[in-house]
Structure 1
């Protein structure tokens, strides 16, 4: 083989590898004879959305997702994730391809971890549209047939223009937004946004798919807004519409100006946000969010965590507690709550050196739920009742009487507004948790004693100074009188006559 032939062969191999890695960059679909792996992506025809493998934040796990192209939105913004609950460890050994009429993700061991899960085995093509919708159609990408499957029917945490949030009464299929678990974990979190299945034409945000903590209020078809979302009156960006018939009910929306880039997101803290991309500043601008206050989100801070709307940090653990999972808290996933630093005496008598548990006073608190009323005569009896019950973790006593709480304390909030009148909560802690306060008291006593001694010394010095001053003042008049008397004696007539007589002699 001559030199020219070798060079051609090397160039051919390099070019083939380049095509292998980037062949899909110009394509908007995955066909039966194509696949996607590694850094390969497909891009919608208009260059708006891109699909491929990604890693959220500092995570080492890989997911298949859809995001805005870099040319359109410089900040990587994920709008949909396929394998939310089953990430892969290596994007180069994993592959996304058409298999038996389905779009399937295989991991490095060739085991399917995600699929469109259709029963049809006919040839199909996966096509990424400029709306951000990934559709699976029978035949080629040019087919105009109805989608066999589409990502808009399986939203993650983002609601894009043209997509639906609602339900189908025939297929029992629902379109629900579900928050990410954290900024580095797109697995379904605790919060979900859904259309009221009872037909009230209102949105609910729920905690753990069971506890409702926010409602949009009913839909006003004339004004095209939700009654409890007044911000929508100023809405000049979105055109909402509600559709209901015998088989389905759903909301959808479009943009008055298609050039605007906007989205709805249910974030990890349980708030629904309306965001618009501003190119000059290259950032997402928050148009409005609901609920308005973070602490209105049910159980945002988990067990024994307290919420504060004023602080930049939403959640903190109560005194004597620490986060169960510190890394999750750093990622603003507070759902794990807090755990005790020291076991209670009633649970482990050796943990507190035999000392009984004590209660820490927490003023201005919004009291937790599931309280139990106890008939007692005063606050001392209320404390005693709680102390005798090892399951009792806190108590309060006010005009309404004695209330106790057993087990975990949920949905706590530290009130800071003068308008909000919180109640003092007494939190049960191990006796050893109060040692710092004792040390502080001891230091305070020493400080007060030292300050008092210094004050006494200053006072004594002042008294001495006054006495000496008085002595000086009392001695000065006597000296002056003597001088005056002497002067008068010298200048008297008798003295003058005596002096003249001496001179005459």
Structure 2
């Protein structure tokens, strides 16, 4: 019996040894995948086939906690782009990452307790977890590489980083909401205070939130860029897009130059920034930031206020409006915003005043139609007494679509260039006053310019005439000096000179009656000059 037990134990040990060797061989031959028959321990990793990304266990900063994450493989600075168990860390290096027969990824601690797992409602066959070259960790059926059939993917659950190919937005069919959330600190990847997501109430736009409070927003998409990010422009590095249809609403970007490494990050301070890796300096370089000045803070100037970071003070009221509390504005408290000078008169007719180069107001309380023309949009707005403004949905090819605002207009920013047009509803009498004031201003400017031009012309004419007279005097003097060629004239240029006709007339044509005498130099005549 003892011999039999010993043989049995030896056989079991050999079986375990072969299984371990088999697992090692599988991992070494398929470095980008995990199957249901294998797992990776702390200290082991898998790498995407092109070597761009690596997945394994790591500790952030000087923390002693351990997490499962994905980071760049080819750059010198460890930069984590996704974390699995971000809110439940491992306290030691006993962690294991595995995938079950049901296609569920799990992180297990030393007590065999599951501290994190993915979720999937689809049936699975020979499930495989694979780290793709894009940095996307996917769970798929063994022989199915169709992205539409993935059982689960990390791109659907971003942390603080948006990579090329990721979608920031909502799948309207599955309900998956893909948003960025900041880390708490460099040492703690758990969900921080800030979230960047697509706000779908009204017309969709990208907003920055702290809890339930909106801190900033990029404005609605106008076909070319978000109206609050005119610095987002076509470039040779990446292309971007905003998709809004019956299935999805999302923002994404793709690389044009695949040699460039770039990422968009929501940091611990709530700043949304794009970085590019500079290989020469071995560092990340800031390429673009969505927050450029204080006017990007939500509702800085209150209702019907307009913010311009290049002016002082930066806050003003829209034309036709005035500060709600003037004494507050005088001490730079703009929070209460502005009110109308003249109330709307819906029954007797209102009108619209165009404002150009702005970030459109917040779009929560809005109605839209993507096929109407701007003129149709204005008519619809005037027919509804609650409508306060309108604009195009899309500014391409002359503009199309209709946005209608109801309620107070909040968070308007003015740009010195770019931006978008909006038509603010005002009482007809107010539009007349604004128009009259604008006409007076134009006339005043035109009159001032005309006066300055006339003064300059007068000055130029005076200088010209003075120079002409001076040249004429100099010309006559030179001519007479040549004719007389006398030293006395050369010594005294102020000596009066007379031409022949004048002298002939003064001597009565050299009359004998005027002759006084005659000497060695010839006759001398008496002259009479009138």
User: Shorter-chain-normalised TM-score: which range?
Assistant: 0.5 to 0.7
1:148 aligns with 2:151: yes
4+ long deviations beyond 4 Å: 16-26, 140-145, 293-298, 364-370
Moved more, 50-59 or 19-28: 19-28
Q: Is the 8 A contact 2:217 2:296 kept in 1?
A: no
Instruction: Note the 1:336-485 alignment, pairs <5 A.
Output: none
- Equivalences, count: 285
Q: Is the 8 A contact 1:207 1:213 kept in 2?
A: yes
Looking at structure 2, the residues matched to 25 and 281 of structure 1 have their Cα atoms a distance apart, in angstroms, of 35
Q: Deviations over 1:304-332 (max 9, x none)?
A: xxxxxxxxxxxxxxxxxxxxxxxxxxxxx
User: What is the DSSP-based 3-state SS (H/G/I as helix, E as strand, rest coil) of the residue aligned with 1:226?
Assistant: coil
Q: Deviations over 1:447-476 (max 9, x none)?
A: xxxxxxxxxxxxxxxxxxxxxxxxxxxxxx
How far 1:238 moved relative to its partner? 2.2
Q: Deviations over 1:468-498 (max 9, x none)?
A: xxxxxxxxxxxxxxxxxxxxxxxxxxxxxxx
User: What is the DSSP-based 3-state SS (H/G/I as helix, E as strand, rest coil) of the residue aligned with 1:288?
Assistant: strand
Q: Is the 8 A contact 2:27 2:34 kept in 1?
A: no
Aligned to 1:216: 218
**Residues 1:293 and 1:101: Cα distance change in structure 2 (over 3 Å):** same
Aligned to 2:61: 57
**Residues 1:33 and 1:19: Cα distance change in structure 2 (over 3 Å):** closer
| TM norm structure 2 | 0.50
Aligned to 2:176: 173
User: What is the DSSP-based 3-state SS (H/G/I as helix, E as strand, rest coil) of the residue aligned with 2:119?
Assistant: coil
Q: Deviations over 1:28-73 (max 9, x none)?
A: 010111101121000001110000001000000000000010xx21
Aligned to 2:208: 205
User: What is the DSSP-based 3-state SS (H/G/I as helix, E as strand, rest coil) of the residue aligned with 1:232?
Assistant: coil
1:284 aligns with 2:284: yes
**Residues 1:53 and 1:101: Cα distance change in structure 2 (over 3 Å):** same
1:74 to 49, 73, 76: 76
- The unaligned stretches of length 5 or more in structure 1 are 1-12, 299-363, 371-505
User: What is the DSSP-based 3-state SS (H/G/I as helix, E as strand, rest coil) of the residue aligned with 1:243?
Assistant: strand
1:48 aligns with 2:52: yes
Looking at structure 1, the residues matched to 170 and 39 of structure 2 have their Cα atoms a distance apart, in angstroms, of 33
Aligned to 2:131: 128
Q: Deviations over 1:394-417 (max 9, x none)?
A: xxxxxxxxxxxxxxxxxxxxxxxx
**Residues 1:268 and 1:87: Cα distance change in structure 2 (over 3 Å):** same
- The unaligned stretches of length 5 or more in structure 2 are 1-16, 299-329, 337-530
Q: Is the 8 A contact 1:22 1:40 kept in 2?
A: no
User: What is the DSSP-based 3-state SS (H/G/I as helix, E as strand, rest coil) of the residue aligned with 2:233?
Assistant: helix
| TM norm structure 1 | 0.52
How far 1:89 moved relative to its partner? 1.3
RMSD over aligned Cα atoms:
3.0
**Residues 1:23 and 1:295: Cα distance change in structure 2 (over 3 Å):** farther
Looking at structure 1, the residues matched to 75 and 157 of structure 2 have their Cα atoms a distance apart, in angstroms, of 23
Moved more, 268-277 or 287-296: 287-296
Looking at structure 2, the residues matched to 366 and 57 of structure 1 have their Cα atoms a distance apart, in angstroms, of 41
How far 1:217 moved relative to its partner? 1.4
Aligned to 2:117: 115
Aligned to 2:96: 95
Looking at structure 2, the residues matched to 183 and 294 of structure 1 have their Cα atoms a distance apart, in angstroms, of 25
Aligned to 2:35: 31
